[in-house]
């Protein structure tokens, strides 16, 4: 189990970079304000995006034109700040997998509690799984959407100590299909 969590952590570190500040109640934002290019920070923009959006539609939502950064996989990137971005990958279809980069420390929330992690794992293993709302109740708060595709949405929860869980939820059933993260045994 520890090996899977470590592999997951390393994968996430490779995929995600820094994002803009978020100032919601219960979240500990950084004191440094970032200069945002466009209409919104990545974690705010992604809430407005859908996998079926065209590049032109994403340009309009974000507020400026993205750059095609990979010809093979049709990857477009919108650099919202010097470290924050949205990427949209149109592999072989007209539907994209869209991801927002973020800085985990900016998402720390003192209400989030992972003490029911074993219950989450049991639900996944038994096949009953949890809906997004049920998952939120188990961890005592809403997640931050950071990825959308035609098949799933991915959210991250970060507690006050910086421990985190990421959950993948099916768009058709709204149930959790995969969870990974880095938490201690007590989950508090």
**Domain contains 188:** no
How far apart are alpha carbons 100 and 84 in whole angstroms?
8
3-state secondary structure of 147: strand
**Domain contains 56:** yes
Number of domains observed in the structure of the chain: 1
**Domain contains 63:** yes
**In order along the chain (188 residues), what is the average pLDDT of each group of 10 residues?**
38 34 39 75 96 97 97 95 93 91 93 95 92 97 97 97 97 96 73
pLDDT at site 34? 67
**Domain contains 187:** no
pLDDT at site 174? 95
Dig out the tokens for 81 from the structure: 């700040």
pTM tops 0.85, yes or no? no
Residues 39, 61 contacting (CB under 8 angstroms): yes
**Domain contains 121:** yes
**Domain contains 96:** yes
pLDDT at site 82? 85
Residue 100 belongs to what domain range?
2-182
Plot region of 87 (φ>0 → left; ψ -120 to 50 → alpha; else → beta): beta
């Amino acid at each position: 189990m520890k090996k899977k969590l470590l592999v997951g952590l390393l994968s996430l570190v490779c995929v995600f970079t820094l994002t803009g500040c978020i100032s919601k109640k219960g979240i500990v934002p950084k004191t440094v304000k970032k200069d945002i290019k466009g209409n919104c920070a990545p974690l705010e923009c992604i809430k407005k995006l859908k996998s079926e959006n065209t590049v032109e539609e994403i340009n309009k939502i974000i507020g400026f034109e993205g750059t095609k950064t990979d010809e093979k996989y049709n990857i477009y990137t919108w650099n919202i700040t010097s470290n924050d971005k949205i990427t949209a990958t149109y592999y072989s279809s007209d539907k994209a997998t869209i991801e927002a980069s973020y800085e985990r420390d900016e998402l720390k929330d003192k209400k989030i509690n992972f003490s029911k992690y074993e219950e989450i794992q049991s639900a996944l293993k038994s096949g009953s799984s949890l809906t997004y709302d049920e998952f939120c109740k188990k961890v005592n708060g809403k997640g931050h959407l950071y990825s959308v595709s035609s098949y799933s949405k991915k959210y991250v929860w970060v507690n006050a100590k910086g421990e985190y869980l990421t959950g993948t939820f099916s768009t058709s059933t709204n149930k959790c299909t995969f969870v990974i993260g880095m938490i201690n045994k007590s989950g508090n």
